[in-house]
Amino acid sequence: MGINVSRTADLGSNEWLLRFVGRQHIAPDDEAFWNGLLNYNIVLPENSQDQLNLDSRLESLCQSFIGNNLKTGNFGSLVAVFLEKTSELLSLSDQESNMHVWQTFNALFIIRTLVKYINETGSEFQLLQHFEALPSAELLQAAVERQQQTPAENASIAIEATEQTAPVPVIVDGSKFETFIDALVNLIVVIPVKEFTYHLHLEAVNMLITLLSVHLFAQQPTDKSIVFRTVFKCQHANVLMSALLHFVARMVEVPHTMFGSSSAGSFVFGIAESLLSIFSFRKQQDALKSGQATGGELSQRFRTLYPLANQSLLLILILTNHYTAQENAYRASLFGCADSKDSPKQGTGAGAVSFQIDFSAVYETLCLIVTIDQATLLLYLLLHRNERFYRFVMQQQNLEQLVIPILQTLYNAPDSNSHHIYMSLIVLLILSEDEGFNKNVHTIMLKNITWYTERTISEISLGGILILIVIRTIQYNMLKMRDKYLHTNCLAALANMSGHFRALHPYVAQRLVSLFETLARKHSRLDAQLKQPADSAVFVNVATTPEDMLQDLSVLEEVLRMVLEILNSCLTNQLVYCPNLVYTLLYKRSVFEGFRSHHAFQDVIQNIDMVVGFFSSRLQRVQEQRGELGVNEVLEVISKGASQWSSDRLRKFPDLKFKYVEEDAPEEFFIPYVWTLVCKYGCVHFSSESIKSVTTDIAC
């Protein structure tokens, strides 16, 4: 009776689909038809090629649907069937509901397929027309008579009915579309996630993403979109955001079968039960633990193994990054959630708790997947805007589990997109705003960092490897990206940490001073070029004007000044704990030679010179007594001298404290980025040829 939809099935000749998209109205209570249509098994598209193949096989059916539905209203009938089945699910036992879940899923899949087609080929207004379309009185009467007649008599009724037309409906509040949105939300938050409901929850989340994808194919602002206005005026933002974040945190693995057998028992429902039930699922996380895999590879694995978590994460990002300039209940909900281990506090205003969730589960999941773009974005939102979560993270004793994957993203910068690099650095900057974090990273010791291949380091602090990676990112940016804001964020993070640098590894101290040395050489070359006559061979590149070079020189001097202030901050606050840095400054003292008289650096270099002079004189006295000193002997002299050093001798500078501030109009950056991730790493595959509103590179 049903349909077996393989990836090669000829869907264009299927009798149930042909009737659905045809010229006859099919009533919602025509059980024989709906049972025939909805009893099918489908192999879901796994990639864009699968989706393209399915779309091509459905093309003629979709065209017939567009041509007939405004007269037949069959789409509205299907929506009505879905609404009825969704409401019935709550009162059925597991054994009774298994078939019901299957049919509800199938109905929703057909709805999503048609919505996707309309979005890609039509307009939002046409989409809403199809939702609200009603059959004419003649078609309604024909449908009633057809249910009472034999199949032969039905044919003549159908022919007569095709000559009638139905008026185009007017979209009003309280519409079928609004009811449909409410049903999707209820399905997600009320029905428990079990093995045989997993794909139904996934389809509901995909349906919301597909509806909101109208943004991709329209050129109107989202605040003019009826779809967006309907979704964003949802009265259940807190419970929806809670359910979605729970889906992410618990990372339920996709079942091996779509609708497996279930045990007997009542189909208990309720939000608390829904969220607790997913604890029973076993996590299969080892597949995501691979130090050799890139963020893109992990994104693909995450999508394949944990599609509900992946799609829920993407939907969270869509809901929280649109409507940032006006009231957004989803955004407020995410920023107002609290740890379930804390006693609930009934605050008001900005301090109100929107919902509670186990922060440990959220933190552990983010540690596991933070190398993928969408997880980095969620971490950014929580750290930047949810004070409770920020404080929770700062209290964790295993910060390396969060920080090291972020550092790996930066280390593998050539394999990451510029947006991901930028967001990873901002996360580090936000973390560095906390003094406790800056102290703790130097107490966490790491061994055998195999992914860091520049140099073999048997043991180093988390703070040390963090400094190395940020310096490396600055140098990579100088060569490849030349992004001023990237420099700014890198240096701001180092500056925040500099007053707490401790026990720096010799290689870390060398890289800090070498950063200044590299920048100094570049400054000298640029300065020399500017002093050459304008018609000399220096300006063979006509694209580089003296004005451009002056601007580059100005930026370079700002960076050099910041590096000097970072060194000065460490010497002022932590000299006694950083003998390796003092050793390197003594060894490389000549790199500061050309800047002592420069007005932009004079004051800071005076402090560095004072430190170098103090220890240099002590070393000279010891050498006169003992002769040539080895490295360990030099460090011994430095350590003894540091115990007698007083930072009061140094000129005082303000403490280096930088705080991340989001740019004006953040949606201009985040919305295209989020939709790029939806298209690239989501389970719903959109037609890239039809996309109009996203200008960033999308690999669908």
pLDDT at res. 694: 65
* Contact predicate 252/193, CB 8 Å: yes
Cα distances (angstroms) measured from residue 681 to each of 42, 47, 415: 21, 10, 16
Cα separation of 611 and 583, whole Å?
11
Give me 432's structure tokens.
Answer: 């560095």
Give kind and range of the element (H or E) at residue 3: strand 3-5
Question: b/e per residue, 262-288, with b = 16+ CB within 10 A?
Answer: beeeebebebeebbebbeebeeeeeeb
Give me 659's structure tokens.
Answer: 């705080």
* Contact predicate 371/416, CB 8 Å: no
Calculated CA dihedral for residues 49, 52, 58, 64, nearest 10 degrees = 180
Burial of 650 (0-12, 13-18, 19+ CB in 10 A): middle
Give kind and range of the element (H or E) at residue 446: strand 445-447
Spell out the residues 6+ positions from residue 49 whose beta carbon is closer than 8 angstroms to its own: none
**Phi/psi at 460 (5° precision):** -160, 155
Helix (H, G, I), strand (E, B) or coil at 99: helix
Q: What is the DSSP letter of 647?
A: G
Q: Nearest Cα to 312, choosing from 160, 189, 399, 413?
A: 189
**Phi/psi at 42 (5° precision):** -125, 145
Mean pLDDT by 10 residues, the chain (700 residues): 53 86 94 92 83 89 95 95 91 74 94 96 94 80 63 41 40 74 94 92 97 90 90 90 97 83 39 40 52 73 94 98 90 95 65 92 96 97 97 96 96 88 96 96 93 92 97 84 80 96 95 94 85 57 68 85 95 93 94 84 89 93 86 92 87 91 88 94 87 55
- The count of other CB atoms within 10 Å of the CB of residue 392 is 19
Could you tell me how many residues make up the chain? 700
pLDDT at res. 277: 40
Q: Nearest Cα to 428, choosing from 339, 494, 365, 352?
A: 494
Q: Nearest Cα to 337, choosing from 208, 435, 249, 242?
A: 242
Cα separation of 613 and 620, whole Å?
10
Amino acid at 93: S
Tell me, yes or no, if the pTM score tops 0.75.
Answer: yes
pLDDT at res. 145: 67
pLDDT at res. 156: 39
pLDDT at res. 110: 95
pLDDT at res. 511: 96
pLDDT at res. 350: 58
**Phi/psi at 4 (5° precision):** -105, 105
Sign of the torsion formed by the C-alpha atoms of 17, 18, 19 and 21: positive
* Contact predicate 72/19, CB 8 Å: no
pLDDT at res. 533: 64
- The count of other CB atoms within 10 Å of the CB of residue 453 is 8
Calculated CA dihedral for residues 585, 589, 592, 594, nearest 10 degrees = -170
Helices (H), 122-251: 124-132, 137-148, 151-161, 176-190, 198-212, 214-217, 226-232, 237-250
pLDDT at res. 486: 85
Cα separation of 38 and 104, whole Å?
8
Name the E strands within 245-351. 338-339
pLDDT at res. 90: 77
**Phi/psi at 641 (5° precision):** -65, -35
